[in-house]
Structure 1
């Protein structure tokens, strides 16, 4: 009979959360590298290259892969013969492990959890509590499956109650394009089928803990209903041409995972949850002999991918930028940004709106005239860092503020990740502004381009404060140009057509 001590459990959770903050699973790295090798769209290939370079940098530097270090989800499977040497519940022990990990001063992780979600939404400051699922199983061990799930991908979760005769693969094919690029493809789709609505959601999330093995499955052939469905969804999803970061390309989905359970005869609940480019999960077992020992990956497991400045890349001086220059940019152009930019995301935009509505005006030192705003909530700096990992957040969330910002503040343009909504694209065109896209999932790489950083307003908002960054050769893509031309619309459409042409050629 195993006796699991409180300290062994807590320290194992804390160590595991630090581990997954900077180590991608090897199967994910291998799958991304395979996607990189076969990608034919230069823009998508470039985005995957940045993600792979960022992954290796994070592994070397022990710093977060993504600035969104996630909400912690923990599946704990407790053997019926296990005894606990603890005065705390499993939930309390997991939460203590979260606090230790996220407040570790050698690698502090961003606290993103807010309490009172329908009201004040006050940050808990330690990323606790975690979401914990507990199962009692046979045996005398404790198995822990731990993940840190970013908000950008979690927000794209989809749920439907299908009729028993409805086609699940067709629903996925129809639904995936509506998710946009905020989940940072390419990634893994987790699908739960059956049970009840909440059971399907839990199964979908747990399926994401599995090993990426779709190509091995394809090689040996499907045997079960779930395996056949995995292959069908995988093929149909990748034929959509959405591609890396939604830019269009051959790989949208790296794998499809499915868990199912018996359900009511009148029901077919289906939940789809995507994992993003910051796929972070780990599994360990405790048997009473001590804390979990996680293997240290070898750096040679990462491919030697480089990112080089091409002849068509334009260097931009943001300190002297003019409207004439920005209106010359075309959707799809690659830029290297140099100079000063301001930051701001959800909470800062809400504050700005309230101040402008009240007639009070912007805070002292905040002037958006002729400038760009970067949608980001960075990780705290350590050592000699100017700022911690600082990748883009989903720009779509700021859509409802965009017209106000362009109309009332003199803002010239925006930098974020993923697509903008139709009304926002119209507003960008009407104001002759521009929207630039940085690669989601390359936060540590982006941070290396930031040479100075200071808080200029709303310091009490923590990572949601307004910063001024001084950047050097920060890579971005013109996603929406001043005419309203939009790569997140044109890219997938072009590549879906190209994939159809390729399939037609191969079938002859």
Structure 2
């Protein structure tokens, strides 16, 4: 007599509830392994600027865990990997697994207790209209042996996703050499220190998928180096990790000892004539979690222990110059030097991609601008909506190079004193900054909630229809930045990594 085993029943509501809960969870909790590796990087960092940036990321991480608010204002494009056991029965699904995942995404991002920023635009070629709820997610479904459903949920910020790399190498080429060569071309817009996922083999799309999936694995580089590699792939991981850190790029590209905390490598059989290789970086706002549905209800995730975070002080004026933005002049900004740290207080303007495009179009047509930029600083940011008694939600910097194409006209025509953003500027933007006697300041990517606590008031001044991309006026107090490009063209993203690369040699 054959025994019939009842399949595990997974309900639609359990999947939706678990996806929503996981996305909320990863919005404000770093994985415990990331916190541990970053704390070790802080302890051994010798570069003052990089050490301060890592400290801000760690302080921000703890604040987000305690306040249940997003680690980064860019709450990401959602990637979900679903492995459905072949012995599972799905119950109550009105549509597909993908639609159920999107129901969970929608619920998570519209949660009034912790609103997450909607960043997804449909019609990517033309209208680019925001969908308003961060759907659709990018979902991969696989049927596997077993009687459970395993789900990896990841929220991937645009700054790191934009730095992904792909190539088809010759079979005799060195993967390590190619990866190490690619990392400097990625700049600092991916917000190091983070981790790199490397996919090797298959086809073009398979290699990219392998790289992305590898980022869901726990960081274990500290343990791996302590015990030594057990196979060739582990030895390659260590080799690439050490060679990248020897480049001296450091936290936020400021120059330092740690650029990557871990390197993951996933492989798949490939054609004899090919070696597809992909790199996908994960930023300082590393956000992912795995849960398993076994038919007993929604999955619950365990928060990291408060003991994981080192006890670090908030930035103060003891090592930074205090600046009054309300009385700031070009003569004062001319005294700043690249690498110097500042604490800004007073009124600043905000504006990022869409606002800059609109301003540029208005300047080209000779139209008056709705805001007077003379003697002001403009901050590249798209904040999260506030909740409860917040003045503004998490509001960390966005990647500044996307504004480079507008910088020359903006500086020459508006009288703006300088800009605040994340990571390096391109050569043309640096020339425009020096030619106009302006400055570029870098705030720490991955410290969005910490930065929001420096904002005392916020109001929309123009382009309200652009939502988070509108022009705001922030009143700030002790807003921490580093002078990235000074009025003479001195550039910390050039001399910082160069100095630490020499030091590591």
Aligned 8 A contact 2:325 2:344 in 1? yes
Tell me the equivalent position of 2:241: 234
One of 457, 460, 463 as aligned partner of 1:455: 460
- Residue 119, structure 1, aligned to residue 153, structure 2: no
Aligned 8 A contact 2:315 2:480 in 1? no
- 1:4-58 Cα shifts (integer Å, max 9, x gaps): 1000000000000000000000100000000000000011000000000000000
Residue 83 of structure 1: CA displacement? 0.8
SS of the counterpart of 1:112?
coil
Aligned mates of 1:135, 1:229 — CA distance in 2: 29
Per mean C-alpha deviation after superposition, the further-off stretch among 85-94 and 6-15 is: 85-94
- Residue 427, structure 1, aligned to residue 432, structure 2: yes
Aligned 8 A contact 1:313 1:335 in 2? yes
Tell me the equivalent position of 1:70: 76
- 1:38-79 Cα shifts (integer Å, max 9, x gaps): 000011000000000000000000000000000000000000
One of 478, 482, 486 as aligned partner of 1:477: 482
- Residue 84, structure 1, aligned to residue 102, structure 2: no
- 1:76-133 Cα shifts (integer Å, max 9, x gaps): 0000111111122011001010000000000000000000111111100000000001
SS of the counterpart of 1:319?
helix
Aligned mates of 1:448, 1:83 — CA distance in 2: 47
- Residue 50, structure 1, aligned to residue 64, structure 2: no
Residue 310 of structure 1: CA displacement? 5.1
One of 118, 138, 145 as aligned partner of 1:131: 138
Tell me the equivalent position of 2:3: none
Residue correspondences, number: 498
One of 298, 304, 309 as aligned partner of 1:297: 304
Gaps spanning 5+ residues in structure 2: where?
1-6
CA-based RMSD of the aligned residues comes to: 0.8
In the TM superposition, what are the counterparts of 1:266-305 in structure 2 within 5 Å?
A: 266-305=273-312
Aligned mates of 1:217, 1:299 — CA distance in 2: 25
- 1:337-374 Cα shifts (integer Å, max 9, x gaps): 011111000001111111222222212xx111110100
Aligned 8 A contact 1:368 1:410 in 2? yes
Aligned mates of 2:267, 2:232 — CA distance in 1: 10
**Alignment TM-score, normalising by the size of structure 1:** 0.97
- Residue 390, structure 1, aligned to residue 383, structure 2: no
Tell me the equivalent position of 1:219: 226
Aligned 8 A contact 2:317 2:343 in 1? no
Aligned 8 A contact 1:46 1:307 in 2? no
**Alignment TM-score, normalising by the size of structure 2:** 0.98
Aligned 8 A contact 1:190 1:272 in 2? yes
One of 362, 379, 400 as aligned partner of 1:374: 379
Aligned mates of 1:436, 1:41 — CA distance in 2: 18
Tell me the equivalent position of 1:401: 406
Residue 220 of structure 1: CA displacement? 2.2
In the TM superposition, what are the counterparts of 1:157-172 in structure 2 within 5 Å?
A: 157-172=164-179
Residue 410 of structure 1: CA displacement? 1.1
